[in-house]
Amino acid sequence: MGKKGASSGPSMDSELTAKTLERAALDLLERDGVLGGLNLREVADRAGVNRGLVYHYFGSRRDLLRSALRRNVRERIAAIRLQDRPERFGSRVRHALKGSVRYASAFRLAVLLLLDGDSQLRLMPDLPRTQELLRQDQEAGLIDRDVDLVALHTALTSLSTGYVLARSRLAKEFGVGVRELDERFIGLAERLCSAVDGPSKDTDEPAEDSGKG
């Protein structure tokens, strides 16, 4: 089987085949949306491999989605994870939303798995670190002392997830460009989040946008 596959492309290289199938799954999800589901025959066709290889490498549709999500989330965390330096919460929201928009496909996969009853899904893979950074911000006076940090983190996750799932449809209904809506929404979200600012809100923190996405 190995020699036969030497000229048959990614189907004979296990790591490359897995990555190719995951990428195909992400591309189809991006094209069809969450409720479009995922057709394994289409995934195999897009990846240029035999459909049997999907089952060989992943076993099921859910396992393929879970594997693609894990790979995508590793990239997403690097772009979305909060900065180590103390910041106002509004600045953290801006950074998180810009990163979330960049990796919207990961959120679509997460919601698809959530609706599919996946018990291993983690919507907040960076939870301990994020909670610690928010606690440090609160101690530095950048977040009011009476703000519930679990609720604040939940609001950030819900805001990011909800917006990236709905942004294209909302832009269409409003009759504006998606990029334009991104800027308008993120700017307003940052302003609204100033409501949790603590006494040190006039700190000398850098004013430039911390988003990488």
How many whole angstroms separate alpha carbon 147 and alpha carbon 152? 7
49 in Cβ contact with 20 (< 8 Å): yes
Tally of residues, the chain: 213
Q: How high is the pLDDT of residue 138? A: 96
Question: Which long-range CB contacts under 8 A does 182-189 form with residues at least 24 apart?
Answer: 182/97, 182/98, 182/101, 185/97, 186/93, 186/94, 186/97, 186/98, 189/90, 189/93, 189/94, 189/97, 189/159
Task: Compute how many other C-beta atoms are within 10 angstroms of the C-beta atom of residue 196.
Answer: 22
Structure-token match 């698809």, residue found: 112
Please, what is the average pLDDT of the chain?
Answer: 82
pLDDT tier for residue 137 given thresholds of 50, 70 and 90:
very high
- For 197, the 3-state DSSP assignment is strand
Q: Residue 112: which residues within 8 A CB-CB, separation 6 or more?
A: 29, 34, 37, 38, 65
34 in Cβ contact with 25 (< 8 Å): no
User: With b meaning 16 or more CB within 10 Å and e meaning fewer, what string describes 100-138?
Assistant: bbbbbbbbbbbbbbeeeeeeebeeebeeeebeebbeebb
Q: How high is the pLDDT of residue 213? A: 39
How many whole angstroms separate alpha carbon 179 and alpha carbon 7? 42
Overall average pLDDT of the 186-207 stretch? 79
Structure-token match 């990961």, residue found: 106
CA distances from 159 to 19, 88, 97 (A): 30, 17, 8
Q: How high is the pLDDT of residue 39? A: 84
- Which one is predicted more confidently, 213 or 14? 14
- Which one is predicted more confidently, 82 or 144? 144
- Which one is predicted more confidently, 137 or 6? 137
Give the pLDDT confidence of 66-89 residue by residue, as tens digits: 888 777 776 666 667 778 889 999
Give pTM, 2 decimals: 0.72
Give the pLDDT confidence of 4-41 residue by residue, as tens digits: 343 344 444 788 888 899 888 888 877 876 656 678 88
pLDDT tier for residue 122 given thresholds of 50, 70 and 90:
confident
pLDDT tier for residue 201 given thresholds of 50, 70 and 90:
low
Overall average pLDDT of the 154-172 stretch? 93
Counting residues of the chain whose pLDDT is more than 70, the rounded percentage is: 83
- Which one is predicted more confidently, 115 or 94? 94
How many whole angstroms separate alpha carbon 183 and alpha carbon 188? 9
Q: Flag the least confident range among 77-86, 127-136, 168-177.
A: 77-86
